[in-house]
A and B are shown apart, each in its own frame.
Chain A
């Protein structure tokens, strides 16, 4: 069986009619003037990868550089795939992808091992970061936050916050002195920024049912700071986005963003538990009851699902880890009792509550 074909010699843009047939070792190509040549199957390349759906095929062969053979017959294509299976789409794709797929599997395995052994390169880099760089990074995170929200600075409130900060810093057993500010933001939240800096929102301060709750939140954020979580998160975000940028060939941003989000989310949950551990220790050292933070988590557990909390890169969002809130409340409330005094005097607490201006009346205990 021979098929009609269009032949070009690759020397000029002219073409002529000819025929082609299947021989044992290759295609037998015959020009209109009767000249025949053999194109061995192993030397063939197709302009597009072949499949059973292909309607025609343009072939070249390394034995006749530049020459092309065009056959517009689906039956020819089907037979050709049988003779030269390397031209099929599946073979071609797998040939291109196999080593990269193996590399991908190796990388995935390595990441899995690192994860399992709890070795994070981001954390190592964060720990190696000089204090000056950490301070600058923190200032920048805070600057980006305070660009749209005023920093609250009623002098009595600032003094009260300072008192509480010193008491907790001392109890944290770290040489670092935490810098704490309150911003005028109607979102119930707290963030730890790099360089031992903490941001509370007005909404959080005004909605706390006592100084012990604010102390608990602060101790929790200090825990993040002590563990260098904000620095680690920044390193991770920068590292992962650079790697994804590379992997996606500078595009594919949708997939890249989903990956980034997942990486952050997973990280945060482990980090929260660490920070909680620190907060319980700090509160105990400072002689402040863990009841406050326990009650706070209990309320968070109740409103979870209805909250509208945005995500903040480089900051820590204590409401984001919803599923654990009830469990975390229980952990705080189950601490064995120890002698404790209120985190702030009544006068200082009132000063802190009004650090951003007049505050609504404090809600009664439920």
Chain B
């Protein structure tokens, strides 16, 4: 009682608030998709960056905390300049290198092989940087109640972890993947902050291994079964081939059977994979803390599969034009399956330092792994 009186006396807003995360679906995303395409065409594609920015502003604004929207403060110009820099420094040299490798490949396969390996290694190294810097850019351009998000720490450190754990993936036959995902997620989240206050993430990767084992064993078995099925269907035609000298076309029912096997295997695998993904999302959420609150994820395998399939069809059937609609749906799923439990002393959270990183998103854009 005394504490409360003291606070009010000092004219500091008292106590803590719960954080209620909700989604208010943005209106007119279909129309916006077509408007963006129209402007892209008349500006020879340059409007892409401004279109993307408007999509983000609407998606961010659809995310509500205690009824108040998040705000995306990035600009199209920033994205455009970031792309220009990466185009000149990364894409153009890579393109020219590939061209040279192509022209001189005939006489010197070992040289062209070395060049290709070098290019792939370079892209791999840049990926880690790109992921981190894109996150930093987006968080520093995200505000709620005027308070900025941010990502501290070093992109180089993240990129290094990304590389060495990535190199261990083939060596461990994939078994490092859950541990790697947890480590990389921790490197990101533990450097995130809202205003001056950091987020905390500490999670064991052990609980992920059950589902991962299912995914791994299931993947191997489905692969073997698929190969076996295809060979047993095609086996007879293989033996005919050597006799006639011409490759015979397998009968239609065989082709359909192969499609059914491949499709069935992929579907089963994506169900198992989605159950692993859902587990991972919820596990990561449950071990993320902010001040006195913690996150709670309710993603499900079925929800993720439906989202993936419906968004894939949306993209294919609209030739990619409706990508903003798909992005909004994906964001909606994430938000509606995430809750924040506990109370946070919001009035005590002060504005954090501004972060530049104006061109930070170029690499991510160049390699096209930034979904939103």
List residues of chain A with CB under 8 Å of any chain B CB.
6, 8-16, 47-49, 51, 53-56, 58, 60, 66-68, 70, 72, 89, 92-93, 96-97, 100-101, 103-105, 107, 133, 136-137, 139-140, 143, 238, 242, 244-252, 254-255
CA distance A11 to B28 in the complex (A): 33
CA distance A250 to B85 in the complex (A): 13
Q: Contact: B67 with A72, CB < 8 Å? A: yes
Most A CB within 10 A of own CB, among B45, B58, B102, B104: B45
Q: Contact: B83 with A250, CB < 8 Å? A: yes
Query: Does B348 belong to the interface (CB within 8 Å)?
Result: yes
Q: Could you say which of A56, A60, A136, A252 contacts B40, with CB atoms under 8 Å apart?
A: A252
CA distance A55 to B27 in the complex (A): 9
The 14 sampled A-B contact pairs (Cβ below 8 Å) are: A13-B195, A15-B145, A55-B24, A66-B351, A68-B143, A97-B43, A97-B47, A101-B42, A104-B42, A140-B102, A247-B46, A249-B49, A250-B91, A255-B41
CA distance A250 to B48 in the complex (A): 10
Residues of B336-366 at the interface with A, using a CB-CB cut-off of 8 Å, are: 346-351, 365-366
Query: Does B93 belong to the interface (CB within 8 Å)?
Result: no
Q: Contact: B146 with A53, CB < 8 Å? A: no
List residues of chain B with CB under 8 Å of any chain A CB.
13, 24, 26-28, 35, 39-50, 54, 57-58, 60-61, 67-69, 71-72, 76, 83, 87, 91, 95, 99, 102-106, 143-147, 194-195, 319-320, 346-351, 365-368
With A47-B69, A66-B351, A245-B91: A140-B103 Cβ-Cβ less than 8 Å: yes
Q: Could you say which of B41, B69, B91, B103 contacts A58, with CB atoms under 8 Å apart?
A: B69
B74 to chain A, nearest CB (A): 12
Q: Contact: B367 with A15, CB < 8 Å? A: no
B247 to chain A, nearest CB (A): 11
B195 to chain A, nearest CB (A): 6
With A96-B47, A101-B42, A249-B365: A13-B104 Cβ-Cβ less than 8 Å: no
CA distance A261 to B127 in the complex (A): 31
For A66, the closest partner residue in chain B by CB is B146
Chain B contacts of A101 at CB under 8 A? 39, 42-43
CA distance A262 to B45 in the complex (A): 17
For A58, the closest partner residue in chain B by CB is B69
Chain B contacts of A47 at CB under 8 A? 57, 60-61, 69, 71-72
In the A-B complex, the 3 residue pairs with the smallest Cβ-Cβ separation, listed nearest first, are A247-B45, A14-B347, A10-B146
Chain B contacts of A242 at CB under 8 A? 95
CA distance A143 to B366 in the complex (A): 31
For A245, the closest partner residue in chain B by CB is B91
Q: Contact: B54 with A49, CB < 8 Å? A: yes
CA distance A101 to B50 in the complex (A): 13
Q: Contact: A68 with B54, CB < 8 Å? A: no
With A12-B349, A93-B54: A248-B45 Cβ-Cβ less than 8 Å: yes
